[in-house]
Amino acid sequence: MGLNEQQIERYSRQIILEEVGGTGQEKLLCSKVLIVGAGGLGAPAGLYLAAAGVGTIGIVDSDKVDLSNLQRQIIHHTGDVGTEKVDSAKAKIQAINPDVTVQTYQSRLTAENISEIIRQYDFVIDGTDNFASKFLINDACYFEKKAFSHAGILRFDGQLITVLPGETTCYRCIFRSPPPAGVVPSCSEAGVLGVLAGVIGLLQATEAMKYLLGIGELLTNTLLVYNALEMEFYKAKLDRNPDCPLCGSSPTITELKDEQQPVCDLKED
């Protein structure tokens, strides 16, 4: 495709890196990343991937911007309260970088619609906040053989892992199925330090860029656990699980289905 003069200047600090170069920048501009959830994790990831020149960014979210989101979901501004998150996110991304094409999906991902959407992308960032979605993304990415970054945050802790489905440890290798309803607190219940979303969301974006560029070592077969209070990063090495119900030797999950939402649904924040 070739870079124009403006692009060469815009991306100069990145092009100058030997591991990226003009070829890498062109790769990024031709790449497509899907961000599921324009929330705490998706906001910083979306902004930085847009700035970096990832050519197509898809954003999935069914919610509207709420005042209580703004403490960490930095893609949304005060004036956006009450508007659709996908529209708010799209406007900021386009303001940062007009090179980026933004596809919005103002819906919740389900077993019916997820495969068709993720099929169009090179890499998926799971920035969702609930276990049903996390398992659905893991399973759909497995069936579509789509690389993705999983992450979760709560209070002062965060964790993430990159999954190359069928090749490396998946979310179900570690956690077979969602926890019992009401056992795991949500951020609205337990709280979350705003900056934590930035730290973990940007680690996910870093993994996306490395994957798209084909550089470095991906965070596969390893759960990176971060604690902000101790300022500690810890890597738990995890082998693939032969008993994994999805990618193990005798799988019991052979088609996509929605996990049950917890019965005691808490009000959304």
Binding site for other proteins (CB under 8 A): 37, 39-41, 69, 108, 127-134, 151-154, 157-159, 173-175, 179-180, 183-184, 186-188, 192, 223, 225, 234, 236-239, 241, 243, 261-262, 265-266, 268-269
DSSP secondary-structure letter at 241? -
* Pairwise CA distance, residues 52 & 158, whole Å: 24
- DSSP sequence for 49-60: HHHHT-SEEEEE
Cβ neighbours around 120 below 10 Å, total: 12
Nearest residue (CB) to other proteins, 21 versus 248: 248
CB 125 within 8 A of CB 161: no
For residue 226, the minimal CB distance to other proteins (Å) is: 10
State which residue, 22 or 251, has the beta carbon closest to other proteins. Answer: 251
- Choice between 11 and 131, CB closer to other proteins: 131
Q: Convert 16-37 into a string of H (helix), E (strand) and C (coil).
A: CCCCCHHHHHHHHHCCEEEEEC
Give min distance, CB of 177 to other proteins, in A. Answer: 10
CB of 106 to other proteins, least distance (A): 14
Residue with smaller CB distance to other proteins, 83 or 110 = 110
Closer by beta carbon to other proteins, 53 or else 158: 158
Please state, in angstroms and rounded to a whole number, the distance separating the CA atoms of residues 43 and 237: 28
**CA nearest neighbour of 24 among 43, 44, 1, 46:** 1
As measured in angstroms, the least distance from the Cβ of 224 to other proteins is: 12
CB of 233 to other proteins, least distance (A): 10
Chain centroid, CA 21 distance in Å: 25
